[in-house]
């Protein structure tokens, strides 16, 4: 089968087309003929050599796909051969065929294209488990999203807004801030010339936000603590600004704050399967009703994965970048 491999750690040019054998299926897995595959920041980190492949996973990049089930262990899943699904995978998405745990497959939402469906799993699984499961964003609470125009950001803004929450989001230009607001954020905050702490405090009457979804970390963490309400929670999902932070533990102690972090890729299938069930029950109806919409910035043919990665690293995009395989 045709695929894209990382020939060595390095720049986007190290992504090269190749021929690989068909994936070997394990118990509980299905074989998907891939129509489209989403590009995500962890793919870039893997290409750079900063994100080790979990034991037993494919060395090919790609954590989300959409396509047709053509084989596999379907017993008790509710799926059958020929069904069109999107899936969260541990790797191997940049290929014509991909193995996926059936528990991590979801039907393509009615009305969505395969490109749109391929853009869903990684960001929706990540946002759900971090914002709603771990950080427990609850009725009447507010959310600050760092990096509002990333794939994660556009998903978090839309989901939280659709569920009735006030949402604020940071972005790096006025155009991106307006894009955040068009997606449902009450206020886009330009982090290049505005202090998000001051803006959030002003908009919340000095109270602060209940939850921060943070993919920056580094020196942002201390500032996020300053803009949290009492009993507030920070959910760390990436370290784009660095892995070390100075934390005012007196505030954490006195105001009952929580800082947690998680990565999804190494978690077991049962954990991700539970997220899939929540998404199907609570989020898929929002997608099918048009209350939450995939935001596709640009598509590339599979063989142009290097160009897609270059675009991802430029950070000029709003929403998702997707590879078209078929």
Q: Report pLDDT digits (tens) over 4-43.
A: 999 999 999 999 999 999 999 999 999 999 999 999 999 9
Asked if residue 128 and residue 116 are part of one domain, the reply reads no
The number of folded domains in the chain is 2
Asked if residue 309 and residue 201 are part of one domain, the reply reads no
Asked if residue 276 and residue 227 are part of one domain, the reply reads no
Residue 101 structure tokens: 């745990």
- Using DSSP's 3-state secondary structure scheme, residue 313 falls into helix
Asked if residue 107 and residue 225 are part of one domain, the reply reads no
Residue 250 structure tokens: 């007196």
Which segments in the chain show pLDDT lower than 50?
none
- Using DSSP's 3-state secondary structure scheme, residue 69 falls into strand
- The pLDDT assigned to 104 comes to 98
Q: Report pLDDT digits (tens) over 143-167.
A: 999 999 999 999 999 999 999 999 9
Residue carrying the six token digits 């995978």: 89
Residue 253: how many other CB atoms lie within 10 Å: 9
d(CA 139, CA 81): 40
Among 243, 261, 279, give the residue marking a domain's end: 261
Asked if residue 80 and residue 114 are part of one domain, the reply reads yes
Among 261, 287, 311, give the residue marking a domain's end: 261
Asked if residue 44 and residue 107 are part of one domain, the reply reads yes
State the residue range of the domain holding 105. Answer: 2-120+265-324
189 to each of 27, 33, 43, 55, 161, how far by Cα in Å?
A: 47, 41, 27, 40, 17
């Amino acid at each position: 089968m045709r695929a894209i491999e990382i020939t060595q750690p390095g720049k986007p040019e190290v992504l090269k087309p190749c021929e690989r054998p068909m994936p070997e299926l394990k118990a509980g897995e299905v074989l998907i003929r891939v129509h489209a595959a989403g590009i995500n920041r962890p793919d870039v980190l893997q290409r750079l050599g900063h994100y080790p492949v979990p034991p037993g996973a494919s060395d090919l990049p790609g954590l989300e796909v959409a396509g047709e089930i053509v084989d596999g262990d379907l017993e008790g899943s509710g799926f059958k051969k020929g069904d069109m699904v999107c899936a969260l995978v541990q790797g191997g998405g940049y290929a014509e065929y991909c193995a996926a745990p059936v528990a991590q497959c979801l039907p393509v939402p009615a009305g969505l294209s395969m490109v749109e469906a391929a853009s869903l799993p990684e960001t929706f699984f990540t946002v759900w488990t971090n914002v709603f499961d771990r950080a427990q964003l609850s009725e009447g609470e507010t959310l600050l999203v760092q990096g509002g125009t990333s794939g994660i950001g556009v998903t978090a803004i839309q989901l939280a807004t659709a569920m009735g929450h006030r949402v604020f989001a940071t972005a790096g230009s006025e155009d991106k801030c307006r894009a955040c607001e068009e997606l449902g954020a009450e206020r886009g905050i330009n982090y290049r010339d505005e202090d998000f702490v001051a803006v959030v405090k002003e908009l919340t009457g000095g109270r602060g936000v209940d939850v921060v979804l943070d993919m920056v970390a580094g020196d942002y963490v201390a500032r996020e603590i300053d803009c949290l309400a009492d009993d507030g929670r920070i959910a760390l999902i990436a370290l784009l600004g660095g892995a070390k932070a100075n934390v005012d533990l007196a505030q954490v102690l006195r105001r009952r704050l929580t800082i947690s972090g998680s990565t999804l890729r190494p978690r077991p299938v049962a954990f991700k399967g539970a997220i899939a069930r929540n998404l199907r029950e609570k989020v898929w109806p929002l997608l099918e009703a048009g209350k939450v919409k995939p935001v596709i910035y640009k598509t590339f043919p599979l063989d142009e994965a290097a160009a897609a990665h270059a675009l991802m690293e430029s950070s000029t995009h709003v929403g998702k970048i997707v590879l078209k395989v078929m």
